[in-house]
Structure 1
Amino acid sequence: MIDFLNAIRDFVETGGQVLLAIGILIFVMWLMILERIFYYSRGHQQVKKAALADWQARADKSSWRAEQIRQAMISRVSIALGGRLPILQAMVALCPLLGLMGTVTGMIEVFDVMAISGTGNARSMAAGVSKATIPTMAGMVGALSGVFATTWLQRTAKRERMKLEDRMLLEH
């Protein structure tokens, strides 16, 4: 376990402080994604059952007022489904931007080394280049994994909303 933590520490040192920010962002993003998955599998089922029970308990299901109440129930469930998806999308968009910031800071370090020691010190330049490329890679990995997860969450939310609408229409 200590070797694993040392390897992570060395990796973060190689990528610079921006890599630490990217790692924290990805960690928080995935916590929120897992929370949404847990909500879809557990919490949403209870909310959906409660909305269906409220709809089934109504005597009037065909008037204009009943239709508005049905739409309001569906909207409440839909808002709960979409909960933090805009925040997740913003975090996904932030990952490559932080990676780009890491690229810029790493390249500044390369130019500093070149200004001080010239182009003959390849080892120092390589350290700066790795500081430039590692955050870029980490930002892209975080963004790609987040894009796949948020797309799945959006499709699931849309599908669950449509299922609820269909169930309530069948209860007319």
Structure 2
Amino acid sequence: MIEILESIRDFTETGGQVLLIIGGLIFVMWLMILERAMYVFVTHKQYKSAVIAKWQARAERSSWNSEQIRQAMISRVSLKLSTGVPIIQSLVALCPLLGLMGTVTGMIEVFDVMAISGSGNARSMASGVSKATIPTMAGMVGALSGVFASTWLARTAKKERASLEDSLRLERKH
């Protein structure tokens, strides 16, 4: 366990302070993704069943009022299902931007070393180059992993809304 913490600390020192911010952002993003996934797989199914049962228990399902109640039920379920998805998408978009900020701060360090040493000493510039590349990589990895998850969440919300609309059909008078 101590070896793992030391390797994480070494990686963080190699990537600079921006890497900590990126790591925190990715951690929060994945907490939100996991919370939404748990909602989809556990809570949503129960809530959807309760809404369908409530609709089926209605005696009258063909009037204009019933249509408004149906739309309200669908909207509530859809809103609960898509809560947090825009924030997750924003965090996904923020990951590469923070990686770019790490690149810029790393390159500033490289230029500082070049100004102090007066030449292009590769050994003295290596630290700045790693601080420039590692945050970029971390930001891109975080963004890619988050893109797939946020796309799945958005697609699932859309699919579940369509499924609920089918389940809560109006009974038309002939």
Paired letter, 2:86:
P
2:89–2:150 CA contact under 8 A, matched in 1: yes
Structure 2: distance between partners of 1:130 and 1:169? 59
Query: Aligned runs of 1:27-38 on 2, under 5 Å?
Result: 27-38=27-38
1:22–1:99 CA contact under 8 A, matched in 2: yes
The number of residues matched between the two structures is 172
2:109 is aligned to 109
2:14 is aligned to 14
2:95–2:143 CA contact under 8 A, matched in 1: yes
Structure 1's unaligned 5+ residue stretches are none
1:39 is aligned to 39
2:62–2:170 CA contact under 8 A, matched in 1: no
1:18–1:98 CA contact under 8 A, matched in 2: yes
2:99 is aligned to 99
Identity %: 75
Paired letter, 1:94:
L
Structure 1 residues 171 and 136: CA distance shift in structure 2, 3 A: farther
Whether 1:88 aligns to 2:88 is yes
Structure 2's unaligned 5+ residue stretches are none
Q: TM-score, normalised by structure 1?
A: 0.97
1:70 is aligned to 70
**Alpha-carbon shift at residue 119 of structure 1 (Å):** 2.2
> Per-residue CA shift, 1:55-99, capped at 9, x if unaligned?
111111111110110000000000000010011011001000000
